[in-house]
């Protein structure tokens, strides 16, 4: 099963849920945890371990000035504004390029070749028995998170149980992470902002056709609005984690709830089984 953990906004405890779920599953089997929050990966803090790193690169165009006739076709084609054709040269703005390859195809003079440009890294480690951790990291200044996430997903495509920790929000990196998953957990907290952003995340999951369930984190017992929203949208509340000073202290130390208080493992095991049902893999 490919399971995503997402949230409409940051700070809901999404990574905490993903890390505790993976930690619990690793006790009884093999699980792969993928940090798709490539602009700010943090799962390695829960699981410090030596890692092997590989570079992620995307193809970008290189203009062969000797062959270029400055016809302007490549600049007209590029919808991202990455190419500007002047009478005597072509300007290329790599940070705007989406590596679609189209300019190479439309050039009538074969004056464009492609070369790889590094945009980030993937690191892979085995921090505890049963757990493989893959983390994507976008290079500073690189705007293209999606290709790094795509590479991370490709790397684990054959692994049987995979948990993807998405970046917060509902933008392209989240869509790339959720796309093709069997189910997703949406982590929220019962505040007006939390509910607003949950609605956006639910909409994204629905449009991608990914079955979603809800985890309410830091519940103070006043979850009526969230519960009503879930009933109205036929969403199962998979788990409720109470607001608790000790849980907050465990997290702030960078530790795992299920490691410090193993009695929580049965709750995370139950969460995983509900996700399997949600995904339809047990039917
Ligand atoms: S399409 Fe080819 S020949 Fe025309 S401006 Fe671009 S690189 Fe030069
Ligand atoms: S590869 Fe695509 S996005 Fe990049 S410069 Fe060429 S046309 Fe534009």
Note the pLDDT tens digit of each residue in 58-89: 999 999 999 999 999 999 999 999 999 999 99
Under 8 Å between Cβ of 4 and 166: yes
Do the beta carbons of residue 186 and residue 209 sit within 8 Å? Answer: no
Which ligand lies nearest the alpha carbon of 94? 2
The pair of structure tokens assigned to 266 is 């049965």
- Local structure of 157: helix, strand or coil: coil
* Joined tokens for residue 267: 């709750």
Question: What is the best residue among 65, 71, 108 to mutate for testing ligand 1's pocket, by most ligand atoms within 8 Å of CB?
Answer: 71
Structural domains counted in the chain: 2
pLDDT digits (tens, 9 = 90+) for 120-160: 999 999 999 999 999 999 999 888 899 999 999 999 999 99
Closest-CA residue to 127 (of 49, 228, 213, 30): 49
d(CA 237, CA 271): 10
Ligand 2 centre distance from Cα of residue 38 (Å): 23
- Residue 252's domain comprises 2-56+119-279
Q: What is the pLDDT of residue 283?
A: 55
Residues 44, 82 within the same domain: no
Both 179 and 256 in one domain: the answer is: yes
CATH number at residue 111: 3.30.70.20
Q: Looking at the structure, tell me whether residues 33 and 168 fall in a common domain.
A: yes
Ligand 2 atom 2 nearest Cα: 100
Same domain, 151 and 253: yes
Q: Do residues 147 and 212 both lie within one domain?
A: yes
Over residues 180-238, the pLDDT tens digits come to: 999 999 999 988 888 999 999 999 999 999 999 999 999 999 999 999 999 999 999 99
Boundary-marking domain end, from 118, 140, 170: 118
- Clarify whether residues 130 and 47 are in a common domain: yes
Report the separation in Å between the CA atom of 88 and the middle of ligand 1, taken as the mean of its atom positions: 11
Residue 104: Cβ-neighbour burial (10 angstroms; 0-12, 13-18, 19+): middle
């Amino acid at each position: 099963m490919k399971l995503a953990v997402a949230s409409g906004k940051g700070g809901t405890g999404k990574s905490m849920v993903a890390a505790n779920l993976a930690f619990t599953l690793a006790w009884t089997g093999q699980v792969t945890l993928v940090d798709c929050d490539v602009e700010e990966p943090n799962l390695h803090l829960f699981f410090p371990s030596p890692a092997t790193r590989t570079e992620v690169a995307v193809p970008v165009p290189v203009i062969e000035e000797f062959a270029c006739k400055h016809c302007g076709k490549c600049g007209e084609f590029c919808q991202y504004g990455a190419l500007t054709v002047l009478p005597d040269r072509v300007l290329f703005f790599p940070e705007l390029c989406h590596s679609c390859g189209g300019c190479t195809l439309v050039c009538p003079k074969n004056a464009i070749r492609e070369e790889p440009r590094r945009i980030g890294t993937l690191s892979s480690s085995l921090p505890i028995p049963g757990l493989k951790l893959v983390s994507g990291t976008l290079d500073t200044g690189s705007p293209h998170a999606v290709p790094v996430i795509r590479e991370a997903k490709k790397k684990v495509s054959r692994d049987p149980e995979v948990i993807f920790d998405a970046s917060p929000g509902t933008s392209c990196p989240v869509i790339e992470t959720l796309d093709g998953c069997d189910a997703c957990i949406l982590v929220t907290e019962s505040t007006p902002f939390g509910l607003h952003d949950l609605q956006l995340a639910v909409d994204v999951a629905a449009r991608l056709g990914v079955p979603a369930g809800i985890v309410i984190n830091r519940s103070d017992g006043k979850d009526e609005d969230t519960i009503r929203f879930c009933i109205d949208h036929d969403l199962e509340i998979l788990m409720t984690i109470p607001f608790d000073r000790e849980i907050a202290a465990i997290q702030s130390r960078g530790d795992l709830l299920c490691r410090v208080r193993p009695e929580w493992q049965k709750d995370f095991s139950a969460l995983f089984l509900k996700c399997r049902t949600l995904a339809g893999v047990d039917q």
